Chain A
Amino acid sequence: MKNGIEMRFNTRSIMMTSVLLLLVISLIAACSSPKATERESQRRSDKLVVAIGSEPEDGFDPTLGWGRYGSPLFQSTLLKRDDQLNVTNDLAESYEISSDGLIWTVKLREDVQFSDGQPLTPDDVKYTFETTANSGSAIDLTNLKAVELDGNNIHFKLGKPQSTFLNELTTLGIVPSHAHGADYASNPVGSGPFKFVQWDRGQQLLVESNPSYYGDKPSFHHITFLFLNEDAALAAAKAGTVDMAYIPSSFSKQEVPGMRLEALQTVDNRGITFPYAEPGGKTEEGYPIGNAVTADLAIRQAINMAMDREKLVEGILEGYGTPAYTSVDGLPWWNEDTVIADSDIEGAKKLLAEAGWSDSNGDGVLEKNGLIAEFPLIYPSGDTLRQSLALAASEMMKEIGIRMTAAGKSWEEIEREMHASAVLLGWGSHDPSELYALYASKYSGVDYYNTGYYSNQQVDGYMEKAMAALTIEEAMAYWKQSQWDGTTGSSAKGDAPWAWLVNIKHLYLVDDALDIGSPRIQPHRHGWPVTDNIASWKWKE
């Protein structure tokens, strides 16, 4: 029996371990002493070390999606957006659209070289667009029928007018046709402000400035991008080993000597998408579509009305955010009339009562013709912020008698259930075609876009007109009308297929001596949107 059941816990070792654990914990909690010695020496050198986001897993090939949310760094684009989101020339000398909207002509500048010394020609542009169209990546160029060259002019022929084609010209980095091989994604060559040096997967990316770059030279010669998780990034910032670090709002209360907190305005939004359709349908994969409760307009509008967005911003984002009313708040195509007066519990209750909802059995949850006002609210289980938002939003809805049951699921599970359950999703792009994809009925059930099968002919009509518009101004007017035209629209005032909650400010700890210019309103945080104006970063004088 001596070697009987070998599962004894040694009293002393357990006690010792717990005491040690306590010690370590209190040490971690207490230990925030700064080490700013290294920081001083780093300043005013031409090197920059940043930990601003996760690693692009697919590498740095624009034809596969690199650069969609922020500067492609190594490559340059035909057009670009300035910090006010106005479109300016980059590789292009000028561009024009034919009167039927079907041909976009871009005149290419002639003096541009790739970092390997070869000139950038119209053939490279043609090659880039054709390769991208055939790559099957997230970039949708299905409307692009042909790319034709004539001297330095490039003619993009479209199947039908598409005002958002502008966005493809501002985001797609041009790759060299002569050096675009299988290993391009891990060894990119381009004509952008920086050239590739080294990529250690899972660790870091080293770049240096491109001497042959045609635009304003960046003031940093070497930049190191470290791929750290949020804790490690904060630790690195405290230790003085990085000049800039992305941190989540839960770390925002921590002071790091020698660094300031930059909170960048964004359209990186989070919201609840509701199943719009009545239940009964199934997708091609056999997943259920629709939910009887959320198919009721009164339910969706009441949730939008009762939601206390300010409280979510204060309580969950520590104030680093703004209330969200649409997916495009603050962008040029946003309709400001979509802002509603929220945290209006009484108004929401009244609306529900008028629609026939009442709590007849006194359990705190409304009913209507035997239907109980409850439905699941799914959030991706790995995302703490969405979890917090889902729980807080569910709590708020208890007051008006709607029971949203929060449930954390994996993305695979979410894909199966998202057409019949409310889901906490996030969007935000500099491209109005995202607005189209979120609300157009033909995007019903496509990817994560119109998951709720929202469909309103009027809204569809406005958005088609916006797509077909020949001028930016005309398109803007239609985009705005699609959100709210006074009687209907895709916003909370109209059909309310979403309850948008918050826009999340992106927080960066930035060295006090580092000037990062005035970054534009930031999109959803895939890739490195903050690097958009990296060429203008410099040490303060």
Chain B
Amino acid sequence: MSAVRSLTRGRGRRLTGRTRLLISAATTGLLLVGIILCSLFIGEQGLSVKLELRDLPPSLQHLFGTDWLGRDMFSRTVQGLTLSVAVGLAGAAGSTVIAMMMGLAAAFLGRMVDRVVTWLIDATLSVPHLVMLILIAFVSGGGIQGIMIGIVFTHWPSLARVIRAEALSVVTADYVAVSRGFGRTRWWIMRHHLVPHLLPQLFIGFLLLFPHAVLHEAAITFLGLGFSPHQPAIGIILSESMRYLSSGMWWLAVFPGLALLVTVRAFDMLGHSLQRLIDPKHSRT
């Protein structure tokens, strides 16, 4: 981001929101395609143990170095990112769906439902995300499925709150009152006035939930929940690397960590540029 700004500052003008969006969308898209292609290309082969190649620092053959069993860290990182992205997409999508249903229900189904939904949102937000996540993942049987369920059921409240507020403002708007006066049903209003209005919000919400979901997946695998410890998940890779940092094997942590950071940051940027474009009120100034 700052690189982009310093590039443009010299010429005395800022990038427009649209250009910025295009750039971040392109970067993110490239990153995603890159990760998926790489992981398809690597497959199981790249993860095999080669004891004679262990503890190698980064080189041209092994871009990210190798670990204490001679496994190529680039392959492991890419595999880990694929898993993170998959969990992130599924988790964010699930959360978005729940958020939409909650928000709509609160706005449309009367005051009682609104109270319940608001209470639910507050209750979920009042417990630290990670604690809830661990509990839910544990109860639902652990593994990748447990983590996904956990993410889905912990990430919806903040978005639900936004959707609820938006929906309430639409419901009380004049054109909706007119619509109602024409005898349109609630269902009709929901489909024709509400959903089109809320879709961009949902999409941005989804994009902004994604990095969160990815980071939480990394956090929970870091804590050792869910997978066999030899499966490449970014969190597992990072927590394993701790044992070897004091022996000077910095590459075990730095590259996977940076890869996670870049992925998360890319999606975050995309979400925010989109948000600024769609919703001028939310722009930075």
Q: Are B229 and A28 in contact (CB under 8 A)?
A: no
Within 8 Å of chain A (Cβ to Cβ): is B285?
no
Cβ contacts B33-68/A at 8 Å (1 or 0 each): 000000000000000111110100000000000001
Known: A250-B68, A381-B229, A388-B69. A7 touches B261 (CB 8 A): no
Name the one of A8, A25, A314, A391 contacting B245, with C-beta atoms under 8 angstroms: A25
Q: Are A7 and B243 in contact (CB under 8 A)?
A: no
Q: Are B208 and A28 in contact (CB under 8 A)?
A: no
Cβ contacts B142-165/A at 8 Å (1 or 0 each): 000000000000000011001000
Q: Are B247 and A25 in contact (CB under 8 A)?
A: no
- A21 contacts across to B, CB distance below 8 A: 257
Known: A1-B281, A11-B2, A387-B229. A25 touches B253 (CB 8 A): yes
Known: A5-B208, A7-B209, A391-B49. A251 touches B247 (CB 8 A): yes
Known: A21-B257, A311-B51, A381-B228. A7 touches B245 (CB 8 A): no
Interface residues of A in 200-254 (CB under 8 A from B): 231, 234-235, 250-251, 253-254
Q: Are A9 and B211 in contact (CB under 8 A)?
A: yes
Within 8 Å of chain A (Cβ to Cβ): is B217?
no
Instruction: Write the nearest CB–CB distance from A448 to chain B, whole angstroms.
Output: 20
A316 to B71, CA, bound (A): 13
- A86 contacts across to B, CB distance below 8 A: none
Instruction: Write the nearest CB–CB distance from B51 to chain A, whole angstroms.
Output: 3
Name the one of A30, A315, A398, A409 contacting B54, with C-beta atoms under 8 angstroms: A315
- A315 contacts across to B, CB distance below 8 A: 51-52, 54, 69-70
A398 to B257, CA, bound (A): 32
Known: A14-B261, A18-B261. A395 touches B228 (CB 8 A): no
Q: Are A392 and B51 in contact (CB under 8 A)?
A: yes
Within 8 Å of chain B (Cβ to Cβ): is A408?
yes
A408 to B226, CA, bound (A): 11
Within 8 Å of chain B (Cβ to Cβ): is A472?
no
- B108 contacts across to A, CB distance below 8 A: none
- A26 contacts across to B, CB distance below 8 A: 250
Q: How many residues of A contact B (CB 8 A)?
A: 47
- A8 contacts across to B, CB distance below 8 A: 208, 268, 272
Name the one of B2, B204, B246 contacting A251, with C-beta atoms under 8 angstroms: B246
Interface residue tally on B, bucketed by range: 35 or more
- B247 contacts across to A, CB distance below 8 A: 250-251, 253-254
Q: Are B228 and A4 in contact (CB under 8 A)?
A: no
- B224 contacts across to A, CB distance below 8 A: 381
Within 8 Å of chain A (Cβ to Cβ): is B10?
no
- B253 contacts across to A, CB distance below 8 A: 25
- B230 contacts across to A, CB distance below 8 A: 387, 390-391, 406, 408
Name the one of A6, A29, A408 contacting B158, with C-beta atoms under 8 angstroms: A6
Within 8 Å of chain B (Cβ to Cβ): is A20?
no
A81 to B228, CA, bound (A): 41
Cβ contacts A382-424/B at 8 Å (1 or 0 each): 1010011011101100100000001111000000000000000
Q: Are B212 and A7 in contact (CB under 8 A)?
A: yes
Q: Are B246 and A28 in contact (CB under 8 A)?
A: yes
**In the complex, residue of chain A having the shortest beta-carbon distance to the beta carbon of B228:** A408
- A7 contacts across to B, CB distance below 8 A: 158, 208-209, 211-212
Instruction: Write the nearest CB–CB distance from A323 to chain B, whole angstroms.
Output: 14
Q: Are B159 and A5 in contact (CB under 8 A)?
A: yes
Q: Are A9 and B265 in contact (CB under 8 A)?
A: yes
For the complex of A and B, the 7 pairs showing the least CB-CB separation, nearest first, are A315-B51, A408-B228, A395-B49, A29-B248, A408-B229, A9-B268, A391-B49
Chain B residues within 8 Å of A, Cβ to Cβ: 1-2, 48-52, 54, 68-70, 158-159, 162, 204-205, 208-209, 211-212, 224, 227-230, 240, 243-250, 253-254, 257-258, 261, 264-265, 268, 272, 279, 281-282
Given contacts A1-B162, A409-B228, 13 further A-B contacts (CB under 8 A): A5-B159, A6-B158, A29-B245, A29-B248, A29-B249, A234-B246, A253-B247, A315-B52, A315-B70, A381-B224, A381-B228, A391-B49, A395-B49
18 of the cross-chain contacts (CB-CB < 8 Å) are A1-B281, A2-B282, A4-B162, A5-B159, A8-B268, A9-B211, A9-B264, A14-B261, A14-B265, A29-B245, A29-B248, A231-B243, A234-B246, A250-B244, A254-B247, A316-B51, A387-B230, A391-B69
